[in-house]
Structure 1
Amino acid sequence: MTVTNRVSHFPASGASKSRKITKSHPYAAVAAVTVGALAVTALVNRHLAKKAEHDNPPAGKFLEVNGVHLHYVERGSGEPLVLLHGNGSMIQDFESSGLIDLAAKNYRVIVFDRPGFGHSDRPRNVVWTPDAQAELIRRALDRLGVSHAIVLGHSWGASVAVALALRFPELVSGLVLASGYYYPTLRPDVVALSAPAVPLVGNVLGHTLSPVISRLMWPLMMAEIFGPRSMPNKFGRFPKEMALRPSQIRASAAESALMIPDAFHFRDQYADLKMPVVIIAGEEDRLIDIDQSARLHSDVSQSTFHRVPRTGHMIHQTAPDQVMSAINEVAGAPLTNLQSEPD
């Protein structure tokens, strides 16, 4: 009996204390579980990113330009043609579309992974506006011995192409602008897409939840950018897992955040473009209204504008022949013959 009394008065064990703490501080327990889950998610995302890079090694070469490890692919010979991909994309977008092979028959095609995409890095000491990227591309082309080039930009890449032409008109002999965003509009979706670029909170999101959410949303995103058509089978060669790496998600978010401010910056400068300009867009683009392209055509007097029926945002994927025709048009048409009404 005495022994029993002594045992009953022993201090509570460590497990008992933990249970008491859990009951007293339920939020601390939830926080601990949440942090643990996020840490595991971050490790899984890091593993998937490393695997994606291993499974999709660089297809081209590298240049060190202004501290940027810049990946590019070069193919064909003839007049230089530079291809600049859109937000969230990379060289494989143009590769899978077939546009590189089409163009390489007659042009020296140079395709860059823009900073933060594909195998190009994106130093954080620079705000990668279209102007900043234009300067980088100009220096890279100089290193490659290119003094004049036709430049094609798709979507966000069109903003970089415009910046390149405005800042270095002697370099850009002609512009092809495909599915671009040129004038500021109300875009609530941009706020959500920009979240992973927010300091601190964005870093956590980008390494944990954003890749998971992006995987879940991938079919809807494909329907949005390819609609009204279905995603073509050839796009299956696009390395989805490369696009879902935390580093690329952050780069994409940063460009989403810059989209509207950049449109404000450029909206009164388009008339300063003096080189041949061909504008091409899908009539049923669900991401960027075709009115953007129509308005640009009215502001650039020497431009031509081609509407592609039954086509959405990914015009180079679903209508590569029409895009190739636009390239040939800007390459061959004299400046005075480039004025026309929309097709």
Structure 2
Amino acid sequence: MKTPKPVTDRAPEHVGKSGASSVALIAAALGASAAAARYRTSRAEKENPPAGQFVEVDGVRLHYVERGSGEPLVLLHGAASMTADFLLSPLVKMAAERYRVIVFDRPGYGYSERPRSTVWGPVTQAALFEEAFRKLDIDQPIVLGHSWGAMVALALGLDFPRSLKGLVLMSGYFYPTPRPEVALTKITGVPLLGDLLRYTLSPWLVRSVWGLGLKNIFAPGAVPEHFKQFPVWLSLRPLPLRTAAEEFALLNPASDSLHGRYSGLEPPCVIISGDGDRVLSPQDHSARLHAQIRGSDYWVFPRVGHMPHHVEPQQVLAAINLAAEKAADRQ
């Protein structure tokens, strides 16, 4: 009779070595991915240094660009964007012939800071910008907000109605609606894991679908040739990636906290959207907001998507002029 072999819980030695090898390979791959992403973002920073100046507000360093002179006009970009979005559009050059145009990098985008200790919802950002207006001697501007930035502009009008003359709300998100893509961003908010992804895999994953995203925001039209100069890799740095994930997660909580106050908006308001917008439904947001804000104007651009300032800059400027005229009439 053979003596039975003793039972042991210890894994075979080759299994342990295999597991260690796999971990080492994964670590090496993540390290290589991080190094390559850092190289690309560093190169983007060298090729696209800050185009404007900086102002510090409550310990937060904000980057802004000024063009032209005259009545102040402030432009606030949407999520996953920066000043380059407006600066590449024809709108800024056209508006600068009449207005002192100030384009801000919102907190966490471009070259603006975003302290992690603060939840940067639209109300918090509005308070930051109102203070920036005073520091930069921006006296009662017309404020145009695009997409996520439209919520910030609207919060400015609600909380600081005496600090601005009028609002232009372009392709904005104003009411809680189902957003399936928000679930995809939640993993990047997981402590440690989210940070690891932003420095390693996330830049490459986002870059791989960037072209499809552009087609979606400009549909039903084509992506304008001038927008192809947008510095993609500045948006793929860890801070802008974290910022975009946070803002997508805040879409519904932020709009839910604000929409009950819309009917009390005081400054003149012009709402604009494209009827072909595939990013968000104009009926669910812009049209609904127009119905809630008495005295507002609502312009819908035919065959235009989410980016009217690139496709119909003359019409967007006309909306800005209308807001200025309504403010002058009221005064």
Q: TM-score, normalised by structure 1?
A: 0.89
Q: 1:173 aligns with which of 150, 153, 165?
A: 165
Equivalent-residue separation in structure 1 for 2:226 and 2:317 (angstroms): 18
1:276 aligns with 2:268: yes
1:121 aligns with 2:113: yes
Any idea what the Cα deviations from partners look like across 1:34-89, whole Å, max 9, x if unmatched?
A: 12211221122122222111110111111111111111011111111100000011
1:332 aligns with 2:287: no
Residue 181 of structure 1 and its aligned partner are, at CA, apart by 0.6
Give the alignment of 1:257-276 within 5 angstroms.
257-276=249-268
Equivalent-residue separation in structure 1 for 2:179 and 2:328 (angstroms): 35
Residue 29 of structure 1 and its aligned partner are, at CA, apart by 2.6
Residue equivalent to 1:45 = 37
Q: 1:313 aligns with which of 294, 306, 311?
A: 306
Q: 2:132 aligns with which of 125, 137, 140?
A: 140
Number of equivalent positions: 318
Q: 1:294 aligns with which of 287, 293, 301?
A: 287
Q: 1:243 aligns with which of 235, 239, 253?
A: 235
Any idea what the Cα deviations from partners look like across 1:253-291, whole Å, max 9, x if unmatched?
A: 111111111111111111110111000001010001011
Equivalent-residue separation in structure 2 for 1:276 and 1:282 (angstroms): 21
Equivalent-residue separation in structure 1 for 2:329 and 2:193 (angstroms): 52
Give the alignment of 1:1-343 within 5 angstroms.
21-24=13-16, 26-291=18-283, 292-333=285-326
Residue 197 of structure 1 and its aligned partner are, at CA, apart by 2.9
Any idea what the Cα deviations from partners look like across 1:198-232, whole Å, max 9, x if unmatched?
A: 32211111111110111110111011111111100
Change (3 A) 1:24 1:144: closer
Change (3 A) 1:40 1:257: same
Runs of 5+ consecutive residues of structure 1 not aligned to the other structure: 1-19, 338-343
Q: Confirm or deny: 8 A CA contact 2:72 2:139 kept in the other structure.
A: no
Greater mean alpha carbon deviation, residues 113-122 or residues 20-29: 20-29
Change (3 A) 1:272 1:255: same
Q: Which amino acid aligns with 1:254?
A: E
Q: Confirm or deny: 8 A CA contact 2:165 2:327 kept in the other structure.
A: no
Q: Which amino acid aligns with 1:222?
A: L
Equivalent-residue separation in structure 1 for 2:141 and 2:117 (angstroms): 29
What is the aligned-residue identity percentage? Answer: 47
Equivalent-residue separation in structure 2 for 1:149 and 1:335 (angstroms): 12
Equivalent-residue separation in structure 2 for 1:267 and 1:25 (angstroms): 58
Residue 336 of structure 1 and its aligned partner are, at CA, apart by 8.1
Q: Which amino acid aligns with 1:205?
A: L
Greater mean alpha carbon deviation, residues 21-30 or residues 289-298: 21-30
Alpha-carbon RMSD:
1.5
Q: Which amino acid aligns with 1:148?
A: Q
Equivalent-residue separation in structure 2 for 1:156 and 1:282 (angstroms): 16
Equivalent-residue separation in structure 1 for 2:37 and 2:13 (angstroms): 32
Q: Which amino acid aligns with 1:297?
A: H
Equivalent-residue separation in structure 1 for 2:122 and 2:46 (angstroms): 30
Equivalent-residue separation in structure 1 for 2:124 and 2:59 (angstroms): 13
Residue 24 of structure 1 and its aligned partner are, at CA, apart by 3.8
* 3-state DSSP of counterpart to 1:109: strand
Equivalent-residue separation in structure 1 for 2:158 and 2:18 (angstroms): 59
Change (3 A) 1:265 1:335: farther
Equivalent-residue separation in structure 2 for 1:334 and 1:225 (angstroms): 31
Q: Confirm or deny: 8 A CA contact 1:274 1:302 kept in the other structure.
A: no
Q: Which amino acid aligns with 2:30?
A: L
Equivalent-residue separation in structure 1 for 2:210 and 2:36 (angstroms): 18
Q: TM-score, normalised by structure 2?
A: 0.92
